[in-house]
Copies of this chain bind each other. A is one copy, B any other.
Amino acid sequence: MRASEANLKACLAELKSFLGERCSTGQSMRELHARDEGWHPPGLPDAVCYPREAAEVARIVEICRRHTVPIIAFGTGSGMEGQINALAGGVSVDLAQLDRIIEINAADMDCWVEAGVRRMTLNTHLRDTGLFFPVDPGADASLGGMAATRASGPNAVRYGTMRENVLALEAVLGTGEIIRTGGRARKSSAGYDLTRLLIGSEGTLGIITKLCLRLQPVPEALRTARIQADDVQSLLDYSIALMQAGLGIAKLELMDEVAVCAVNLHAKLGLAEQPTLLVEFSGSAAAIDADIAFALSLAEDFNLPKPVWAATPEDRSRLWKARHEVAHAEPLLRPGARIFVTDVCVPVSRIADCIRATRADLASVDLIASIVGHIGDGNFHVSLLINPDDENEVKLAEAAHDRLVERALAMDGTCTGEHGIGQGKKAHLRREMGASVDIMQAIKTQFDPALILNPGKIF
C-alpha cells in the first residue's frame, strides 16, 4: 500500500511545485501529523499539505491518485483510534486553512462552514446570534474532522451526534471529483443519503471540504449538579430512571473514582474521590425548576445523597472543563504512561449491567483503569494506563478491550459509540457487522477506486 520510491518522489515534486511552501516535508511537521491522541503506533506521512480551498484539495487528490500515493485527511489530530496516523506514509492533507465561516443563516438556524473551522471558533462567532452548534467531543476539533469521525460527546443525549446535526456536505472523492450532497432544506427525499454515508467514513471515502450545519437556540437556562456516592450501581440505576422520565436532560455523565482522582490532580477540584454523576438540565427556567424537583425526589428514592448544584456559571464551567480534560488528566496517575482508551455503547437499560461487569473485569487487570461515560446515551469509555513499549501491558489492555467489546455486543450494543474504528477496532467491526463490512468495502471501491484514501483504516 506504501507508494514506490519513484512514485513518491514524482508526486512530492508535483505537490511542491503546485503548493510551494504549503507542501512541507520537514521532519517536525511530519511528526506533528503522525499520530492522534490515542495509543496506536504513529505513522509518519511523507509530506504535509495545506490546501486553501476545495479545488486545491481536488488537485492534490488527482496528483496523488496518478502516482498511487496515500492521502490522509487531517483535522486537528484529536481523535482516539489512530484515524490520522499515516500507516503507509503518503500525504497528510491538513485542512486548517480551509477556515472560512461562509454564511450564518440565523433565521433558518443553519450555517455553511469550511472543514477546517474549529467548533469553538464557530461558537464564538455565533455568540451574538442566540444560537450555537451543540456537538462537543471535548477537544476543540475541526468540524470536518468531527463529521468524518461521527463525533458526539456529552451533548448528544440532548442534540444528537454529527449524524443528526449536519444538513449537507461538500467533499472531494478519491477520483478527485468534488460533490455536494444536499442543500439547506431541513428534510429531503432526493436520492441516496450521501451526507450520512460520508459522516463517519473516517477519510476513507472522501475528504470533507465544507459542511452545512444545523444550529440550536442557546437554552434559556442551564443547571448542573453533581451527585457522589460509593455505590456506583445506585448512581447508574438513578441515571436510567432519570432518562426514562423524559426530562430536559442536557448532559448525564459518570466519572468513576479513578477518573475523579485524576481530575483532582489536574484541575485541583478537591472532589471526594468517589464515583460521581454530573447532570445538567437545560430549558426554560420554569421547566428546569420542575426537572430539578423531580431529580431531587428521585435521588431520595435511590438513597443517594442530595445533588450539589453548581452555584455560579464559573462553578459549572469548572466542572465541565474538568470532565472534558479527563483524557489529559489520567496520565498524571502514572507519569510516562499513555492512555489506552476505548469506548462502547449499549442500550441505556443495560448500561448499569455493562459497567458493573466491566468494573469487575478491570479489577482483575494489573493496570490503572478508569471509566467515564455519557450515561444518557449508554456510551462509556474505558481508559487503561499502559507503557506502550511493554508488550505484556499492551496485551493485557487489548485482552480487556476484547472482553469489553464482547460484553457490549452481547448486550445488543456497538463496539464504538463515538471514537470510530480507525486502526484499533477493525476486527471488532467485523464481529459486530458481519457481511455488512463487505458491502462497506464495495462502496469504498466506488468512491476511491485507487484505494489511496486513508488506507488501513476501518477495513
- List A residues at the B interface (Cβ < 8 Å): 105, 107-110, 149-150, 152, 156, 160-161, 163-164, 173, 177-194, 196-197, 199-201, 205, 217, 240, 244, 246, 284, 286-287, 290, 345-349, 377-379, 409, 412-421, 425, 428-429, 432-437, 439-440, 442-443, 445-447, 458
Known A192-B197, A436-B191; contact A108-B418, beta-carbon cutoff 8 A: no
The interface residues of chain B lying within 8 Å CB-to-CB of A107 are 240, 244, 348-349
Q: Give the chain B neighbours of A421 by CB distance below 8 A.
A: 189-191
State the CA gap A173–B435 with chains docked (Å).
11
Residues of B within 8 A of A425 (CB): 190
Give the shortest distance, in Å, between A346 (CB) and chain B (any CB).
6
Q: Are B287 and A439 in contact (CB under 8 A)?
A: no
Q: What 14 new A-B contacts, CB under 8 Å, besides A180-B434, A184-B413, A442-B446?
A: A150-B189, A152-B189, A160-B164, A163-B187, A185-B378, A185-B417, A186-B348, A187-B417, A190-B428, A190-B429, A191-B440, A192-B458, A193-B196, A196-B196
Closest to A287 in B: B287
27 contacting pairs across A/B (C-beta < 8 A): A105-B349, A110-B347, A152-B187, A164-B164, A173-B439, A179-B435, A179-B436, A181-B436, A182-B414, A183-B432, A184-B413, A185-B378, A185-B379, A185-B417, A187-B345, A187-B377, A187-B418, A189-B200, A189-B414, A189-B416, A189-B421, A191-B421, A193-B193, A193-B199, A194-B439, A284-B287, A287-B287
Docked CA distance A110–B243 (Å): 14
Contact A189 B149 (CB under 8 A): yes
Q: Is the CB of B435 within 8 A of A177?
A: yes
Q: Say yes or no: A379 contacts B443, CB within 8 Å.
A: no
Q: Contacts of A110 on B, CB cut-off 8 Å?
A: 347
* A160 partner residues in chain B, CB cutoff 8 A: 164, 187
- Residue in contact with A192 in the complex, picked from B105, B201, B409, CB distance below 8 Å: B201
Which of B105, B199, B347 sits near A184, CB closer than 8 Å? B347
Q: Is the CB–CB distance between A189 and B347 below 8 Å? A: no
**Looking at the complex, which one of B184, B244, B420, B445 makes contact with A412 (CB distance below 8 Å)?**
B184
Q: Give the shortest distance, in Å, between A427 (CB) and chain B (any CB).
A: 12
| Nearest chain B residue, comparing its CB with the CB of A374 | B187
The reply to whether B188 and A416 contact each other, CB–CB distance below 8 Å, is yes
Q: Chain B contacts of A436 at CB under 8 A?
A: 179-181, 191, 194
Q: Which are the 3 A-B pairs with shortest beta-carbon distances?
A: A196-B196, A188-B414, A442-B446
Bound form: Cα–Cα A191–B149 in Å = 9
Q: Which B residues are in CB contact (< 8 Å) with A187?
A: 152, 156, 160-161, 163, 345, 377, 379, 414, 417-418
Complex Cα–Cα for A197 and B443 (A): 11
